[in-house]
Amino acid sequence: MRTTIMNRFLLATLLLSFAVTTNSQTSKNKKPNIILIYTDDLGFGDVSSYGTSAIPTPNIDRLAKNGVRFTNAHATSATCTPSRFSLLTGKYAWRKEGTGIAPGDATLLIPVTTTTLPGMLQKAGYNTAVIGKWHLGLGDAKGINWNEKIKPGPAEIGFNYSFLIPATGDRVPCVFVENQQVVNLDKNDPITVSYTGPVDPNAPTGKKNPELLKMHPSHGHDMTIVNGISRIGYMKGGNAALWKDEDFANILVQKATAYITQQKANPFFLYFSTHDIHVPRIAHERFAGKSGFGPRGDVLLQLDWTVGQIEEVLKKNGLLENTLIIFTSDNGQVIDDGYKDDAVEKLGNHKPNGIYRGGKYSAFEAGTRVPFIVSWKGKVKAGKVNDALFSQVDLYASLAALAGVKVEAGQAPDSKNYLQVLLNQSNKPREFLIEQSINSTLSLLVGDWKYIEPSKGPKINKDTNTELGNDPKPQLYNLATDPGETKNLAEVYPERVAEMKLKLDNIRQK
């Protein structure tokens, strides 16, 4: 009798301790990690699972195969800075002056008083990081001193760790900034940056010294030369800190790998912002010449490799079941964006726009309709397609819901919780969606209808050969019957035009 009781006690203790260990090992109650892979200038049709790409992207396609592929998801803007501003604040960038494409010496565009997307997640116990392209400005009105700790920056708006390409690959300063300090800076060779004129009148530039270039500009980009490529803006000094474009993808993957591995025990949010496939398109030698479509195709292969590496490190650390992966782009495609890199000549049968009109900078669909893939092993059903109208501005409120954070009044004012859509448990479309073009022409999408407000802006960006969608008259398209925006129906449906104009005016004034 005594032994039976003893045995039962032992068995119960054993079972209990087993349950406790299993529970902690599977981290059942742990909040899911979130990785946002934010690519640059990737068009709707650049990913092969989207149907019109001639360049294989097997790693990105595998994410889609194991998850859900959205066909009507949008960046908020057709350029980088405003899309990123809206993504991190849950507020349309056009509500704030000075949030267009930021110069390389712009001050931090997000006020430090904002509870940003990462700041909100920190409150829920997340460790947060940004690795890659920033392009949201750094420092304050005193101007940036690149030779000291640069403040304010990502740390002041909710990121625990940052490793940045401070603006873009084609803008100076061409240095990495880790936790707000230039990496490998030699104190005896300080950095000076200017966007108004040469810092050193004797230094070679792309304009004066084309013989020094390994890649030549097609428009703009003819100032300071770094790594045989002329850039936008002037810089002097910081020689030991200068980057090599060929190493971008490797370095960003290394940094992400280290971060994920270090943080695997905590819930983490990684905003992984690739340089690819922005200009200058300089692939590592593993990819250079490999696509058959010139450098643009090569950096697309490199981007695909990058995505594969991120998935691999999650797999290695046993994190796939507890990590939500979102893959998308900051704006649509562009072919010639300022360098003679054969992108036009070697485009062949590759269709980076899919069936859509326009591209980066444009009010037409290809400006903001981008690839958008969500994958979460065991949580999001594999191999699905979701056609719901979805905006990146809603990632804020949707991820708040996922993390169990209440969004306070006034915080993320334009963001709505569409978590169920994000996880493909629903295909409820957003009630309306707004697109912003380079000259801030706004378009309103409701159901199948798209209204583009009248604009005096140019019809074509001659440099990039992009139709910008501007017209002094209102435009109305039915995207269900005419996804290529070829028939302006504004004169056929004047009431609908008036109704959509009024709605857009109301949203603008909110």
**CA Rg value for the chain:** 24
Segment interacting with ligand NG6 (CB under 6 A) among 140-148, 188-196, 218-226, 472-480 = 218-226
Q: How many whole angstroms separate alpha carbon 205 and alpha carbon 197?
A: 12
Decide whether 323 or 333 has the Cβ nearer to ligand NG6: 333
Q: How many whole angstroms separate alpha carbon 94 and alpha carbon 109?
A: 12
Query: Residue 500: which H helix or E strand, with range?
Result: helix 494-509
Contact 227, 245 (CB under 8 A): yes
Segment interacting with ligand NG6 (CB under 6 A) among 196-204, 213-221, 317-325, 421-429 = 213-221
Q: Which of 31, 268, 27 is nearest to 126 (CA)?
A: 268
The distance of closest approach from Cβ of residue 60 to Ca ion in the complex, given in angstroms and rounded to an integer, is 17
Binds 337, which of ligand NG6, Ca ion, none (CB < 5 to 8 A, cut-off by type)? ligand NG6
Site string (42-81) toward ligand NG6, x via CB under 6 A: -------------------------------------xx-
The distance of closest approach from Cβ of residue 117 to Ca ion in the complex, given in angstroms and rounded to an integer, is 18
Segment interacting with ligand NG6 (CB under 6 A) among 44-52, 150-158, 214-222, 399-407 = 214-222
Q: Does 435 bind ligand NG6 (CB under 6 A)?
A: no
Decide whether 220 or 457 has the Cβ nearer to ligand NG6: 220
The distance of closest approach from Cβ of residue 330 to Ca ion in the complex, given in angstroms and rounded to an integer, is 4
Structure tokens at 398: 């949707």
Binds 168, which of Ca ion, ligand NG6, none (CB < 5 to 8 A, cut-off by type)? ligand NG6
Q: Does 313 bind ligand NG6 (CB under 6 A)?
A: no
Total binding residues toward ligand NG6, as defined by CB under 6 A: 17
Site string (336-355) toward ligand NG6, x via CB under 6 A: -xx-----------------
Q: Name the phi and psi angles at 159, rounded to 5.
A: -105, 125
Decide whether 135 or 357 has the Cβ nearer to ligand NG6: 135
Q: How many whole angstroms separate alpha carbon 145 and alpha carbon 134?
A: 17
Q: How many whole angstroms separate alpha carbon 389 and alpha carbon 444?
A: 12
Contact 154, 204 (CB under 8 A): no
Segment interacting with ligand NG6 (CB under 6 A) among 7-15, 241-249, 331-339, 393-401 = 331-339
Q: Name the phi and psi angles at 177, rounded to 5.
A: -125, 115
Q: Which residues pair with 467 in a beta bridge?
A: 460
Contact 101, 133 (CB under 8 A): no
Q: Does 168 bind ligand NG6 (CB under 6 A)?
A: yes
Segment interacting with ligand NG6 (CB under 6 A) among 198-206, 215-223, 254-262, 301-309 = 215-223
Q: Does 101 bind ligand NG6 (CB under 6 A)?
A: yes
Decide whether 78 or 412 has the Cβ nearer to Ca ion: 78
Decide whether 80 or 174 has the Cβ nearer to Ca ion: 80
Q: Does 232 bind ligand NG6 (CB under 6 A)?
A: yes
Residue 136 CB partners (closer than 8 Å, separation 6+): 81, 84, 85, 88, 102, 106, 108, 109, 110
- What are the residues binding Ca ion (CB under 5 A)? 40-41, 80, 330-331
Decide whether 389 or 434 has the Cβ nearer to ligand NG6: 434
Q: What angle do CA 460, 327, 291 make, to 5 degrees?
A: 70
Q: Which of 160, 158, 165 is nearest to 133 (CA)?
A: 165
Q: How many whole angstroms separate alpha carbon 493 and alpha carbon 481?
A: 15
The distance of closest approach from Cβ of residue 135 to ligand NG6 in the complex, given in angstroms and rounded to an integer, is 5
The distance of closest approach from Cβ of residue 393 to ligand NG6 in the complex, given in angstroms and rounded to an integer, is 17
Contact 412, 396 (CB under 8 A): yes
The distance of closest approach from Cβ of residue 232 to ligand NG6 in the complex, given in angstroms and rounded to an integer, is 5
Total count of residues recorded for the chain: 510
Taking CB under 6 A as the criterion, the residue among 95, 96, 216, 219 binding ligand NG6 is: 219
Q: How many whole angstroms separate alpha carbon 295 and alpha carbon 165?
A: 20
DSSP collapsed to 3 states, 302-332: HHHHHHHHHHHHHHHCCCHHHEEEEEEECCC
CA distances from 222 to 209, 226, 241, 449 (A): 9, 11, 21, 42
Decide whether 85 or 372 has the Cβ nearer to ligand NG6: 85
The distance of closest approach from Cβ of residue 504 to Ca ion in the complex, given in angstroms and rounded to an integer, is 24
- The gap from C-alpha 191 to its chain's centroid, in whole angstroms, comes to 28
Q: Does 276 bind ligand NG6 (CB under 6 A)?
A: no
Q: Does 170 bind ligand NG6 (CB under 6 A)?
A: yes
Which positions lie near ligand NG6, rule CB under 6 A? 40-41, 79-80, 101, 135, 168, 170, 219-221, 232, 278-279, 331, 337-338
